[in-house]
Structure 1
Amino acid sequence: MMEKDEFEYAAPAVIFPGQTAHESAYRTAHDLLSRRFPVEALELLEPALAEDPDNIGLRTMRAWAYMLRAQLTKAETELRWLVGQDPSDAWSQHSLGRVLERQDRLEDALGPLRLAAVMSDDYDHQAAVYRVSNRISQRSE
Protein backbone atom coordinates (compact mmCIF):
# COMPACT_ATOMS: atom_id res chain seq x y z
CA MET A 1 0.00 0.00 0.00
CA MET A 2 1.34 3.43 -0.96
CA GLU A 3 1.79 6.06 1.73
CA LYS A 4 0.04 9.37 1.23
CA ASP A 5 3.37 11.23 0.93
CA GLU A 6 4.67 8.78 -1.71
CA PHE A 7 2.02 9.62 -4.30
CA GLU A 8 3.21 11.74 -7.18
CA TYR A 9 1.00 12.91 -10.00
CA ALA A 10 2.60 13.46 -13.37
CA ALA A 11 0.43 15.02 -16.02
CA PRO A 12 0.95 13.62 -19.51
CA ALA A 13 2.34 15.89 -22.18
CA VAL A 14 -0.38 17.61 -24.14
CA ILE A 15 0.29 17.37 -27.85
CA PHE A 16 -2.41 18.47 -30.25
CA PRO A 17 -2.73 16.93 -33.71
CA GLY A 18 -0.13 18.38 -36.05
CA GLN A 19 1.89 19.81 -33.16
CA THR A 20 5.50 18.81 -32.51
CA ALA A 21 6.88 17.96 -29.08
CA HIS A 22 8.83 21.25 -29.13
CA GLU A 23 5.67 23.26 -29.84
CA SER A 24 3.94 21.48 -27.00
CA ALA A 25 6.87 22.20 -24.65
CA TYR A 26 6.81 25.86 -25.70
CA ARG A 27 3.05 26.25 -25.14
CA THR A 28 3.04 24.42 -21.83
CA ALA A 29 6.09 26.32 -20.57
CA HIS A 30 4.49 29.62 -21.58
CA ASP A 31 1.36 28.68 -19.62
CA LEU A 32 3.42 27.68 -16.58
CA LEU A 33 5.50 30.85 -16.68
CA SER A 34 2.49 33.11 -17.06
CA ARG A 35 1.18 31.47 -13.87
CA ARG A 36 4.60 31.91 -12.20
CA PHE A 37 5.78 28.28 -12.11
CA PRO A 38 9.37 28.62 -13.38
CA VAL A 39 10.72 25.43 -11.81
CA GLU A 40 8.09 23.31 -13.53
CA ALA A 41 8.65 25.14 -16.81
CA LEU A 42 12.39 24.50 -16.64
CA GLU A 43 11.77 20.80 -15.98
CA LEU A 44 9.76 20.72 -19.20
CA LEU A 45 12.12 22.89 -21.25
CA GLU A 46 15.44 21.21 -20.48
CA PRO A 47 14.68 17.89 -22.25
CA ALA A 48 13.27 19.73 -25.28
CA LEU A 49 16.34 21.97 -25.43
CA ALA A 50 18.64 18.94 -25.13
CA GLU A 51 17.12 17.76 -28.42
CA ASP A 52 17.08 21.19 -30.08
CA PRO A 53 19.56 23.53 -28.32
CA ASP A 54 19.21 26.36 -30.86
CA ASN A 55 15.42 26.61 -30.66
CA ILE A 56 14.82 30.33 -30.14
CA GLY A 57 11.30 29.91 -28.74
CA LEU A 58 12.37 27.38 -26.14
CA ARG A 59 15.42 29.45 -25.17
CA THR A 60 13.18 32.50 -24.78
CA MET A 61 11.00 30.53 -22.36
CA ARG A 62 14.12 29.40 -20.48
CA ALA A 63 15.35 33.01 -20.19
CA TRP A 64 11.96 34.01 -18.79
CA ALA A 65 12.09 31.16 -16.28
CA TYR A 66 15.58 32.18 -15.15
CA MET A 67 14.38 35.76 -14.73
CA LEU A 68 11.43 34.65 -12.58
CA ARG A 69 13.77 32.57 -10.43
CA ALA A 70 16.21 35.50 -10.15
CA GLN A 71 18.96 33.36 -11.67
CA LEU A 72 20.33 36.50 -13.23
CA THR A 73 23.65 35.17 -14.51
CA LYS A 74 21.93 32.33 -16.35
CA ALA A 75 19.25 34.73 -17.63
CA GLU A 76 21.93 37.12 -18.89
CA THR A 77 23.75 34.34 -20.74
CA GLU A 78 20.53 33.17 -22.35
CA LEU A 79 19.43 36.68 -23.29
CA ARG A 80 22.82 37.60 -24.77
CA TRP A 81 22.54 34.52 -26.98
CA LEU A 82 19.01 35.53 -28.02
CA VAL A 83 20.07 39.11 -28.79
CA GLY A 84 22.97 37.72 -30.82
CA GLN A 85 20.53 35.65 -32.87
CA ASP A 86 18.09 38.53 -33.42
CA PRO A 87 19.20 42.02 -32.33
CA SER A 88 15.81 43.41 -33.44
CA ASP A 89 13.90 41.40 -30.81
CA ALA A 90 12.62 44.11 -28.46
CA TRP A 91 11.61 41.60 -25.77
CA SER A 92 15.11 40.11 -25.59
CA GLN A 93 16.74 43.55 -25.57
CA HIS A 94 14.43 44.84 -22.83
CA SER A 95 14.80 41.67 -20.77
CA LEU A 96 18.59 41.82 -21.05
CA GLY A 97 18.48 45.42 -19.87
CA ARG A 98 16.25 44.51 -16.94
CA VAL A 99 18.52 41.63 -15.91
CA LEU A 100 21.54 43.94 -16.00
CA GLU A 101 19.60 46.56 -14.03
CA ARG A 102 18.70 43.97 -11.40
CA GLN A 103 22.42 43.21 -11.09
CA ASP A 104 22.99 46.96 -10.52
CA ARG A 105 24.96 47.22 -13.77
CA LEU A 106 23.09 50.34 -14.80
CA GLU A 107 25.47 51.61 -17.48
CA ASP A 108 25.42 48.22 -19.19
CA ALA A 109 21.61 48.07 -18.92
CA LEU A 110 20.97 51.42 -20.57
CA GLY A 111 21.96 50.34 -24.10
CA PRO A 112 19.60 47.37 -24.43
CA LEU A 113 16.82 49.27 -22.67
CA ARG A 114 17.15 52.20 -25.09
CA LEU A 115 17.12 49.87 -28.09
CA ALA A 116 13.99 48.13 -26.84
CA ALA A 117 12.25 51.44 -26.17
CA VAL A 118 13.01 52.74 -29.66
CA MET A 119 12.03 49.48 -31.37
CA SER A 120 8.78 48.95 -29.50
CA ASP A 121 7.58 52.43 -28.50
CA ASP A 122 6.21 50.65 -25.42
CA TYR A 123 5.53 52.81 -22.36
CA ASP A 124 7.09 50.27 -19.97
CA HIS A 125 10.24 50.17 -22.07
CA GLN A 126 10.47 53.96 -22.09
CA ALA A 127 9.87 54.06 -18.33
CA ALA A 128 12.75 51.62 -17.79
CA VAL A 129 15.11 53.92 -19.72
CA TYR A 130 13.96 56.89 -17.64
CA ARG A 131 14.34 54.95 -14.36
CA VAL A 132 17.85 53.68 -15.15
CA SER A 133 18.98 57.08 -16.48
CA ASN A 134 17.79 58.72 -13.26
CA ARG A 135 19.57 56.15 -11.12
CA ILE A 136 22.81 56.73 -13.05
CA SER A 137 22.41 60.51 -12.61
CA GLN A 138 21.83 60.12 -8.88
CA ARG A 139 25.01 58.07 -8.53
CA SER A 140 27.13 60.77 -10.11
CA GLU A 141 25.83 63.53 -7.83
Structure 2
Amino acid sequence: MDARSTYFEHGTAAERWARARLFFDAKEYGPAVGILEGLAGEAPEQLAPRLLLARAYYHSARLARAEAELRAILERWPVEDYARLLLGRALERQGRSAEAAPHLRLAAAMAGEFPE
Protein backbone atom coordinates (compact mmCIF):
# COMPACT_ATOMS: atom_id res chain seq x y z
CA MET A 1 0.00 0.00 0.00
CA ASP A 2 1.47 3.36 -1.02
CA ALA A 3 1.15 6.71 0.75
CA ARG A 4 -1.42 7.95 -1.77
CA SER A 5 -3.87 5.07 -1.20
CA THR A 6 -3.37 5.38 2.56
CA TYR A 7 -4.33 9.07 2.33
CA PHE A 8 -7.47 8.27 0.35
CA GLU A 9 -8.50 5.47 2.71
CA HIS A 10 -7.71 7.29 5.97
CA GLY A 11 -10.53 8.37 8.28
CA THR A 12 -14.16 7.52 8.74
CA ALA A 13 -16.53 7.36 5.80
CA ALA A 14 -17.92 10.76 6.81
CA GLU A 15 -14.42 12.29 6.91
CA ARG A 16 -13.52 10.79 3.52
CA TRP A 17 -16.83 12.03 2.07
CA ALA A 18 -16.11 15.55 3.32
CA ARG A 19 -12.58 15.38 1.89
CA ALA A 20 -13.90 14.12 -1.47
CA ARG A 21 -16.40 17.00 -1.57
CA LEU A 22 -13.61 19.50 -0.86
CA PHE A 23 -11.49 18.10 -3.69
CA PHE A 24 -14.48 18.05 -6.06
CA ASP A 25 -15.49 21.61 -5.18
CA ALA A 26 -11.88 22.71 -5.78
CA LYS A 27 -12.02 21.01 -9.20
CA GLU A 28 -9.35 18.54 -8.09
CA TYR A 29 -11.13 15.61 -9.68
CA GLY A 30 -8.29 13.07 -9.54
CA PRO A 31 -8.01 13.06 -5.74
CA ALA A 32 -11.81 13.15 -5.47
CA VAL A 33 -12.02 10.03 -7.65
CA GLY A 34 -9.40 8.30 -5.47
CA ILE A 35 -11.55 8.78 -2.39
CA LEU A 36 -14.93 8.25 -4.02
CA GLU A 37 -13.99 4.95 -5.63
CA GLY A 38 -13.34 3.56 -2.16
CA LEU A 39 -16.53 5.01 -0.70
CA ALA A 40 -18.67 3.77 -3.59
CA GLY A 41 -17.12 0.32 -3.30
CA GLU A 42 -17.81 0.17 0.42
CA ALA A 43 -21.42 1.31 0.12
CA PRO A 44 -22.76 0.61 -3.39
CA GLU A 45 -26.30 1.05 -2.10
CA GLN A 46 -25.68 4.76 -1.44
CA LEU A 47 -26.44 7.04 -4.36
CA ALA A 48 -24.56 10.20 -3.32
CA PRO A 49 -20.96 8.85 -3.49
CA ARG A 50 -21.66 7.02 -6.73
CA LEU A 51 -23.19 10.06 -8.38
CA LEU A 52 -20.35 12.32 -7.25
CA LEU A 53 -17.89 9.70 -8.53
CA ALA A 54 -19.61 9.72 -11.93
CA ARG A 55 -19.46 13.52 -11.96
CA ALA A 56 -15.75 13.47 -11.08
CA TYR A 57 -15.10 10.99 -13.90
CA TYR A 58 -17.07 13.20 -16.29
CA HIS A 59 -15.27 16.41 -15.32
CA SER A 60 -11.87 14.72 -15.58
CA ALA A 61 -12.78 13.46 -19.09
CA ARG A 62 -12.85 9.81 -18.02
CA LEU A 63 -15.98 9.47 -20.09
CA ALA A 64 -16.07 5.67 -20.43
CA ARG A 65 -15.82 5.33 -16.66
CA ALA A 66 -18.47 8.01 -16.17
CA GLU A 67 -20.74 6.20 -18.60
CA ALA A 68 -20.27 2.86 -16.85
CA GLU A 69 -20.95 4.35 -13.40
CA LEU A 70 -23.99 6.26 -14.65
CA ARG A 71 -25.45 3.15 -16.30
CA ALA A 72 -24.97 1.25 -13.03
CA ILE A 73 -26.67 4.07 -11.13
CA LEU A 74 -29.61 4.11 -13.54
CA GLU A 75 -29.97 0.35 -13.32
CA ARG A 76 -30.48 0.71 -9.57
CA TRP A 77 -32.21 4.14 -9.55
CA PRO A 78 -33.99 4.48 -12.93
CA VAL A 79 -35.72 7.73 -11.95
CA GLU A 80 -32.49 9.58 -11.09
CA ASP A 81 -32.91 12.39 -13.62
CA TYR A 82 -29.51 14.02 -13.06
CA ALA A 83 -27.75 10.71 -13.75
CA ARG A 84 -29.80 10.41 -16.94
CA LEU A 85 -28.81 13.95 -17.99
CA LEU A 86 -25.14 13.36 -17.24
CA LEU A 87 -25.19 10.06 -19.14
CA GLY A 88 -26.60 11.88 -22.15
CA ARG A 89 -23.90 14.52 -21.93
CA ALA A 90 -21.15 11.91 -21.50
CA LEU A 91 -22.40 10.12 -24.60
CA GLU A 92 -22.48 13.40 -26.53
CA ARG A 93 -18.88 14.16 -25.52
CA GLN A 94 -17.91 10.74 -26.89
CA GLY A 95 -19.51 11.65 -30.24
CA ARG A 96 -22.53 9.40 -29.68
CA SER A 97 -25.29 12.01 -30.10
CA ALA A 98 -27.91 9.60 -31.42
CA GLU A 99 -27.45 7.37 -28.38
CA ALA A 100 -27.48 10.41 -26.08
CA ALA A 101 -30.72 11.91 -27.41
CA PRO A 102 -33.22 9.59 -25.67
CA HIS A 103 -31.43 10.03 -22.33
CA LEU A 104 -31.45 13.80 -22.68
CA ARG A 105 -35.15 13.87 -23.67
CA LEU A 106 -36.08 11.62 -20.76
CA ALA A 107 -34.02 13.73 -18.31
CA ALA A 108 -35.76 16.88 -19.54
CA ALA A 109 -39.19 15.28 -19.21
CA MET A 110 -38.36 14.03 -15.71
CA ALA A 111 -37.32 17.57 -14.77
CA GLY A 112 -40.60 18.95 -16.14
CA GLU A 113 -39.05 20.56 -19.20
CA PHE A 114 -41.27 19.96 -22.22
CA PRO A 115 -40.76 21.34 -25.72
CA GLU A 116 -43.24 24.01 -26.71
Structure 2 length-normalised TM? 0.78
Q: Which residue of 2 aligns with 1:46?
A: 37
How large is the RMSD of aligned CA atoms in angstroms?
Answer: 2.3
After TM superposition, list the pairs within 5 Å mapping 1:51-130 onto structure 2.
51-121=42-112
Aligned length: 107
Amino acid at match of 1:99: A
Is the Cα–Cα contact under 8 Å of residues 25 and 44 in structure 1 kept in the other structure?
A: yes
Q: Structure 1: which 5+ runs fail to align?
A: 1-9, 15-20, 130-141
Q: Per-residue CA shift, 1:10-64, capped at 9, x if unaligned?
A: 7xx67xxxxxx33433333233212211111112223323322343221111101
Deviation, 1:117, is: 0.6
Deviates further, 48-57 or 105-114:
48-57
Amino acid at match of 1:24: E
Q: Which residue of 2 aligns with 1:6?
A: none
* Bigger relative contact order (CA 8 A; separation at least 6): 2
**Which protein has the larger Cα radius of gyration, Structure 1 or Structure 2?**
1
Determine which of 6, 13, 25 is the counterpart of 1:34: 25
Q: Structure 2: which 5+ runs fail to align?
A: 1-6
Give me the identity figure in percent. Answer: 31
Deviation, 1:120, is: 1.1
